Homo-oligomer: A and B are copies of this chain.
Amino acid sequence: MSQDRIRRPSLLSKVVSADEAASLIKDGMTVGMSGFTRAGEAKAVPLALAARNASNPVKITLMTGASLGNNIDKLLTEAGVLARRLPFQADPTLRNAINHGDVMFIDQHLSETSEFLRSRQMKPVDIALVEAAAITEDGGIVPTTSVGNSATYVTLAEKVIVEVNSSHSAAIEGMHDIYIPGKRPHRQPYPVMAADSRIGTPYIPCDPDRIAAIVFTDKFDSAATNTAPDPETISIAGHLTDFLANEVKQGRLSNSLNPLQAGIGNIANSVLYGLVHSPFEEMTMYSEVLQDSTIALLDSGKLLFASGCSMTLTQPVGDAVYANLDKYKNRLVLRPQEISNHPEIIRRLGIIAINTALECDIYGNVNSTHVNGTHMMNGIGGSGDFARNAYMSIFVAKSTAKDGAISTVVPMVTHCDHTEHDVDILVTEHGLADLRALAPRERPKIVIEKCVDPAYRDQAFDYYNRALARGGQTPHVLEEAFSWHAHRAKTGSMKLS
């Protein structure tokens, strides 16, 4: 196996155990690791690090692409390894530690981590720890199911540790497109002109001398845990498909739409599934995470090509795709997240961005991150990269949570990640609010009638009408802006009567 996967013979001498590699990670270091939405994270070394921390404790800053699989964030948190974590996470144990103040979490736009590192506006990366499907003759590192920030970490780190993971099909080589931007002031445009543009190399270039250790592993990615579409998400998908069909009818979009981005999670995944039976043809995706729905759209013939920075599939879909990679390889590309999420390319291509709101308000401001304005859920991820720069920014949510005790549409968001300037369309299972080119005062009626659950409509109108009496561009009763949240804290429900 070794020689297939490590094609530069001199590097075979660098192969060590996971424990030995983990011993390179010292207290206070910053580790830049592969891994994005449970795909392609380094597995053996972080688990070795967690295991040895009882006897030989270190605290590190861990940067990744995004969230990790194999319970790595959980185990590192429990072992007390994490001092700082960025730019995204989605693990309940880590989330808890963050909200207790035990781990400092820097919640960043996913396109920006690379920029901050490259300009040395953050502490430098000591060790890059990346999973690879292979190492080429020149030392080039072939990523696996995600690219994330790995190219930046490998380029900038003092030392590089590579986990060569034989659980990934060797046929994945060729699916990646790695491009490292030039230094300012000589930086050139990113020549991505369409979702299927290839602008770089199929591996991360790396001087072999910088590879400090190589670890073999055959641990699998954790499968995605998406649930099947349910009546609400099917309804959301239906509203959105109807809306987009009307945009085509009005001549504002062609029948292949514009390139699509969809956020991670069940609702966005379900919305894309809805497009399998839509009238649209020859679509493309320029997105962040490719989920089961992307594969369903490719299989249906509706989608010509998908670009992302990671691929996170459920077990059955993953099994089918990775056993038939040659069938998919010329219709998929995985890029660094600074390129999948780059403002330049998002604006140029005119992306239709579909992201999930945790909470939104009657004026169209969106909270993507903070429960009750204080407690972190996962992080902003790429939603800000896409929503700000998209052709059209759509946010989707179920209208209620906790069996109706929470209305996801409230008078004022308790934390704002996306301002009303960046929210064109809101969709819940009840309907779709088209907020384009509307003043704030024109928005509440539409949002309440189309998107708010009927059980909350009266109290939403009551708030808005009393707010209106006080005037302003964006009327509010400031001392009641969070009264629904206060009511829930007291009674268990946001329903005021």
Question: Cβ of A251 < 8 Å from any Cβ of B?
Answer: yes
Q: B437 near A116 (CB under 8 angstroms)?
A: yes
Give complex CA distance A9, B12 in Å: 79
Question: Cβ of A331 < 8 Å from any Cβ of B?
Answer: no
Question: Cβ of A135 < 8 Å from any Cβ of B?
Answer: no
Q: B193 near A380 (CB under 8 angstroms)?
A: no
Question: Cβ of A194 < 8 Å from any Cβ of B?
Answer: yes
What residues of chain B lie closer than 8 Å to A255, measured between beta carbons? none
Give complex CA distance A108, B252 in Å: 20
If A120-B252, A343-B388 touch, whether A376 touches B472 (CB-CB below 8 Å) is yes
What residues of chain B lie closer than 8 Å to A365, measured between beta carbons? 416
Number of A interface residues at 8 Å Cβ cutoff, please give it.
84
Q: A375 near B437 (CB under 8 angstroms)?
A: no
Contact with B along A79-114 (1 / 0, CB 8 A): 000001010000000000011110011111100000
Question: Cβ of A43 < 8 Å from any Cβ of B?
Answer: no
Nearest neighbor of A483 in chain B, beta-carbon distance: B479
Name A's interface SS. loop
What residues of chain B lie closer than 8 Å to A258, measured between beta carbons? 184-185
What residues of chain B lie closer than 8 Å to A441, measured between beta carbons? 101, 104
Q: B416 near A416 (CB under 8 angstroms)?
A: yes
Give complex CA distance A183, B101 in Å: 49
Question: Cβ of A398 < 8 Å from any Cβ of B?
Answer: no
Separation in Å of the A344 CB from the closest CB of chain B?
A: 4
From B251, B369, B389, B486, contact of A479 by CB (8 A): B486
Separation in Å of the A426 CB from the closest CB of chain B?
A: 15
What residues of chain B lie closer than 8 Å to A193, measured between beta carbons? 188
Nearest neighbor of A112 in chain B, beta-carbon distance: B421
Question: Cβ of A478 < 8 Å from any Cβ of B?
Answer: yes
Q: B473 near A375 (CB under 8 angstroms)?
A: yes
What residues of chain B lie closer than 8 Å to A476, measured between beta carbons? 373-374, 414
Q: A391 near B115 (CB under 8 angstroms)?
A: yes
Separation in Å of the A205 CB from the closest CB of chain B?
A: 22
What residues of chain B lie closer than 8 Å to A55, measured between beta carbons? none
Contact with B along A406-434 (1 / 0, CB 8 A): 00000010111101010010000000000
Known: A343-B389, A373-B476, A478-B485. 4 other contacts (CB 8 A): A104-B442, A121-B252, A123-B437, A370-B473
Q: Would you mind naming 23 contact pairs between A and B with Cβ atoms under 8 Å apart?
A: A104-B442, A107-B439, A115-B391, A116-B436, A121-B436, A122-B437, A184-B350, A185-B194, A187-B350, A189-B344, A343-B344, A343-B389, A369-B473, A370-B473, A373-B478, A374-B470, A376-B473, A384-B419, A415-B474, A416-B419, A478-B485, A479-B482, A481-B482
